[in-house]
Amino acid sequence: MREKDENRLDSELTIELPEEIWVAILAYLDPQSLIRAQFVDRKFSYLANENYPWKVLFRTYFPEEIPHSVPIEFNWKEAFITSYLEHYSDYPSEIKRIIFFIATGNLDQLRETNLTFNNLKENDFILVKTAARLGRQDILDYFYHLSETVRTVPSNEQEQDSQSIDQRLNNLVKEVGQQTDWWVALMIPFYWAVRCNQRDKIILNLPTLLNSPEVITGKTATLLAAEFGHLALLNDLLDYPENSAITEGYNQLSVALTKSGQMRMLHGLDNFIAHHREKTSRVLGAEKEHSAKIVEAAKNLPCRITLAARHGVFSVFKPQVHALYQKLIQAEQTLVAAQQTRASLEEPDHADEALKKEIEATEAYEQIKKEFNSIIKTAMHAAAEQGQKNIIKYALEKQFIDIDDELQTDKSTLLSTAATSHHPKLVEFLLTQKANPQPAMSALCYAVRDLKDERRPQDQAVFTSLSQVGEMLMRAIEERKEPIDLLLLRDIVVTKESTLLERLLVLDVGDINRLCFTGLTLLETAIRENPDFWRDSCITLLLNSGAKVNGRIFKVAIQKKDTKLIHEILSKPGVNAHELVNTAFGYDRMPIICSLPVNSVMHNLLLPYVDLQESIFEMMSKRRPYLGLIRDVLHYNDYILCRPPLDIKKILDFAKESKLTRITKQLEIEVELEKNLKTSPATAAEKLELQVKATGLAKGIAFGLKNESLPKRTDLPEDLRSLKAYIQLVTDRKIRSHLKAIYDCAYKEGFARGRQKSHEREVAEKDSPLPRAEESSLEKEMQIGKRKFNNHAEERGQAEKRKLSTTKRTRLFFSPPHEQREDALKADEGLPVREPYPMIEEQERSRATEQQRFPTWPPVSFEATTTHPTNQDSSEVINPIPDVTETASQYAENRSFANTGYPLRFFPLAEAAAAQFAFTNAPENTPERMETSATTHHSGHQASTRHSFNFNPLPEAASQLPSTHPSTSEGAENPQEKDFDTNRFFI
């Protein structure tokens, strides 16, 4: 009997059911059970992968995400798993089981789980939000009942949590000082009523609690209704005119709607705004005012794609970005159609219209493409900051963005943003997608440095996370073995990450002495970035890796007072220490040794290699050397270091070879004066007096060569007053007056010599006419068809004219004064200097035109000429001003001459034109020379120049003109007699 029962039982167990029934049975399983069913046997593995069970699950869990048109081969399993993982992947299995009961509406099973009030608050209210999203109002009522039970009779397990909430509420009451117990008791059920959509209980507390934020979350009832997905409740709350969400411009409300993850909520807000926009045209009074207020607040809604990317709401991000992408595709298709239409046209009558449509389509496409790229990059940057891996993965799969695209103006990428925001999981994912780790490492180095500078205890966890990310990036760099970007090496040097630098230097770094975008090498950057008296190990690593030392790097090391580094450099094999020390100059263009305190450690370290005479030769080899600096070096050698005097004759010979005319003249005078000294060697005071006297003689001679009378007053030039010896020795007015008297006496003596030389030059010019043989030779060489010279004077005039034209051609390039000073400093440091600016071609053409219009003197209109001293030593003058000649017709058009800053305007008299030619050619009517003094400022240095204007007076006024000759106007005050201080142009 027992055997019969067993056989009957075995036969019942082996009953086969149709596959359709098994598939229907599997559709009742939760997702975890359905996945486990695949491992029963091969048949269940097949049945569990059928579309139907997964379709049922998708409709149950995500009814709002069902596509409008479902393809026949649509993979419901893949679609469900993607959405399910997005919403619930981070929750424990017990919570997932409860969510299944909520999705299926199985309230009985839900009660058997013995949910507590604490369970509802966990995981950001995911159980309540799921019930609200799926519209399970009966389950929401049950959840609200649980909250009422806790407030009335707390259990032993719930007592502690209830007390903690009350404690937090009491603390808030104490802070505000206005709340009462009944008010707090009223607020707690009100916000739970909003979460659970208890409309009758909410209305009882409106509008009293409409804008009052919840104590714990800080959210108002409007924001909670939006976040939990209660659309009808949200519309009712927004209809209150005093709702603060409207006055704030829907910013917080948009965030709450996006975080709800429901497109129906976003569409509901759009419909709400559209309804009130239409309402403004048909209602009046307060109702119209409220509708207008709602519409006005919606003008600047935040980008929903960016919000969804920042908060990781895939259910909102995907449809929003898909709609924008479809708009781009349609614009591209319209453009292609317009291009094809235009290309296929055979009749030229419609060509213009087709071209117009193509241009419009191109502009529309470019505009939409620009908008799409901007929105995507902003959204991806926000997603990377928050570590939203799913959002970024979807954008990369759809090729909305490349893995290494720059997202912001700071050139941040997805990987660099994720690294600096310390998201290791996202960094790992991006590295698997072959993102470039080098820019990310650069950004991470600066983030770590900023964190170290702040030194806050609460940042320790962040620092640990950044260190973990940095190790991931470093391993990726080492494994890929790609050439190391110089910018990465520079950033590591700047942030002083010596450990990373040591690991990178063994890779393919290329030439370590390359210049960065700053124009500096890695070694110079490391030295410049170091604080004084602090040694960075990056410097040692670079030196050991073959970094070269030049004069600029040597100077920076001296300024940083890194004696250890200086000692290493000077003792390094193959380094010319003598040349390094004597070619290093400070910012004041003095040898670097002169700027160091005497007997300091650095000073004593460099002193054995110092040769100041070689330094002077180096100074004179540079552009526009300054005699005052040379005198300062001589003073430093003789009276500060107390070394044997330098050979001034060698310095003088070098100046002659370098054609430094002004320096040569003053040094020659100084050497001649020093021979007459009674004491040898001269003291510092005697040496200063010699320099003052030599300068006075030189300037007096220069002034006497061009002027017939002494200036009204003379001052000590700036190059004398700025001498180190002058600053140290001139301590009172008595010494200053004594030196001024020496200068005045020497100036007068020099003026007399200059006048004598000028007179001898004039006599020599008169007594040396060109011989006839030379003249005939010139005539033979003249081209056929050219007019022959009438006399020797005309020939000399033509020669001078050719010389002047050559001079003007050489002055077609000039540089502004401030740039000349910058170039001089750069040249001292070995940096490249800028090319001079060409003069304006229009101005040159204007001059050529005027010369063609007025080929002979005098022109029909007056001519204004500015003149400057022409024998200035270009080796000392920093801003040589070119000669300028302009006609008065240009000034009548309000155009100024050259780049000197002196606008002039002349009004010629028409009645003088007829008699002008005969009058001006008369020998007794030499044009009067009137000179005025003008003052210009060049970058803070005052410069005094003379401008003389030639003009021809009317014949009637010729007899009234005063004579300018000294013999006829001895008592007249001559404006040009003021000393022209060329040294005011010096740096």
| DSSP assignments along 206-258, one per residue | TTTTSSPPPTTT---HHHHHHHHT-HHHHHHHHTSTT-HHHHTTTHHHHHHHH
User: Which residue would you say has higher pLDDT here, 534 or 622?
Assistant: 622
Task: Note the pLDDT of residue 575.
Answer: 81
Which of 192-201, 244-253, 530-539 is modeled with the greatest confidence? Answer: 192-201
Mean pLDDT of 279-287: 85
Q: How far apart are CA 223 and CA 253, in angstroms?
A: 6
- CB neighbourhood size of 937 (10 A): 10
Is residue 5 very low, low, confident or very high in pLDDT (cuts 50, 70, 90)?
low
Range with the largest mean pLDDT of 193-197, 296-300, 886-890: 193-197
Which residues 6+ apart lie within 8 Å of 714 measured at CB? 743, 744, 747, 979
Mean pLDDT score, 179-195: 67
pLDDT score, position 15: 60
pLDDT confidence of 550, banded at 50, 70, 90? Answer: confident
774 token code pair: 């030379």
Residue whose pair of structure tokens reads 């806050």 in the numeric block: 456
With a cut of 80, say whether residue 921 has pLDDT above it. no
Is-contact 116 143, C-beta < 8 A? no
Residue 425 — very low, low, confident or very high, per pLDDT cuts 50/70/90?
very high
- Does pLDDT of 805 surpass 80? no
The residue ranking higher by pLDDT, 531 or 126, is 126
Q: Which residues pair with 945 in a beta bridge?
A: 934
Whether the CA torsion 849, 850, 855, 860 is positive or negative: it is positive
Q: Among 660-674, 742-756, 945-959, where is mean pLDDT lowest?
A: 945-959
> Per-residue b/e over 596-627, b at no fewer than 16 CB within 10 Å?
beeeeebbebbeeebebbebbbbbbeeebbbb
Class of domain 14-89: mainly alpha
Average pLDDT value for residue range 621-643: 89
Give residue-wise pLDDT tens across range 105-159.
999 999 999 988 888 988 889 999 999 999 999 999 999 998 877 655 444 444 4
The two beta strands, 928-938 and 884-887, are: unpaired
pLDDT average, residue stretch 413-420? 95
Q: Is the pLDDT of residue 257 over 80?
A: yes
Taking only the tens place, the pLDDT of each residue in 956-971 is 333 343 333 333 333 3
The reported pLDDT for the residue numbered 596 is: 87
- pLDDT at res. 820: 57
Strand, coil or helix: 90: coil
Band the pLDDT of 254: cuts 50, 70, 90: very high
Contact 587/554 with Cβ under 8 angstroms? no
For the ranges 204-213, 367-376, 484-493, 800-809, which has the lowest average pLDDT?
Answer: 800-809
Residue 372, pLDDT above cutoff 90: yes
The lowest-confidence range among 174-183, 775-784, 849-858, 889-898 is: 889-898
- Closest by CA to 820, choosing from 866, 881, 895, is 881
Most confident by average pLDDT, 160-174, 374-388, 662-676, 925-939? 374-388
What local confidence, expressed as pLDDT, does residue 570 receive? Answer: 87
SS3 56: helix
* Residues 906, 891 contacting (CB under 8 angstroms): yes
Q: pTM to 2 decimals?
A: 0.65
Most confident of 264-273, 556-565, 839-848: 264-273
Q: How far is CA 813 from CA 433, 671, 821, 828, 835, in A?
A: 55, 37, 16, 22, 9
Q: Which residues 6+ apart lie within 8 Å of 985 measured at CB?
A: 876, 877, 878, 879, 938, 941, 943
Q: Is the model's pLDDT at 807 over the cut of 70?
A: no
Look at 931 and 628; give whichever has higher pLDDT.
628
Evaluate if residue 892 carries a pLDDT over 70: no
Confidence of residue 7 (pLDDT cuts 50, 70, 90): low
d(CA 714, CA 720): 13
In the structure, what pLDDT confidence band is assigned to residue 680 with cuts at 50, 70 and 90?
low
Kindly tell me if the per-residue pLDDT of 828 is higher than 60.
no
Nearest to 879 by CA among 685, 624, 677: 624
**Residue 534 reports pLDDT greater than 80:** no
**Out of 308-317, 679-688, 811-820, which region has the weakest mean confidence (pLDDT)?**
811-820
- pLDDT score, position 868: 37
- Of the chain, the percentage scoring pLDDT greater than 90 comes to 34
Secondary structure letter of residue 839 according to DSSP: P
Looking up tokens 């900023």 gives 450
pLDDT, tens digit, 9 for 90 and up, residues 223-249: 999 999 999 999 999 999 889 988 888
Q: What is the pLDDT of residues 711-755, one digit of tens each?
A: 988 889 998 999 999 998 998 899 999 999 999 999 999 999 999
Give the chain's mean pLDDT: 76
Instruction: Give the pLDDT score at 341.
Output: 86
Tell me the C-alpha distance between 278 and 755, whole Å.
Answer: 97
pLDDT at 306 over 90: yes
